[in-house]
């Protein structure tokens, strides 16, 4: 159920790398392909009173899988986006869900 939320990169660009990225992440995270979700979030950056393109930011929301797996996931996502989409710089952060605070269809996970 890793959720990959992307801002500052067009959805059609993410489509170009989505299969490759998930293929790589399935091997690292060891969970089924259909557990992954990529969401492209439209956003507008405002700097100095002007609308500008938002800086690329990726958030991975998931249950903790340890620092080693987290580092591999961060590197994989970053490397694919930078190489395949020719994006020089981006930020990536992890949000960790706590199992006792996560519900699916109203039921405790």
Kindly report the CATH class assigned to 3-108: alpha beta
pLDDT tens, residue by residue, 47-72 = 999 999 999 999 999 999 999 999 99
CA 57, CA 18: separation in Å to the nearest integer?
A: 16
- Phi and psi at 100, nearest 5°, equal -75, -10
Prediction pTM value: 0.92
DSSP-based three-state secondary structure for 51: strand
Q: Domain map of the chain by residue range?
A: 3-108
pLDDT tens, residue by residue, 33-44 = 999 999 999 999
């Amino acid at each position: 159920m890793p959720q990959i939320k992307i801002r500052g990169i067009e959805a059609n660009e993410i489509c170009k790398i989505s299969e490759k990225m998930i293929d790589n992440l399935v091997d690292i995270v060891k969970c089924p392909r259909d557990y992954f979700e990529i969401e492209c979030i439209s956003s507008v950056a405002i700097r100095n009173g002007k609308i500008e393109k938002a800086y690329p930011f990726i958030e991975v929301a998931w249950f903790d899988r340890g620092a080693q797996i987290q580092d591999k996931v961060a590197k994989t996502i970053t490397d694919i986006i930078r190489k395949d989409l020719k994006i020089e710089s981006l930020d990536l952060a992890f949000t960790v869900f706590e199992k006792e605070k996560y519900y699916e269809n109203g039921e405790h996970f």
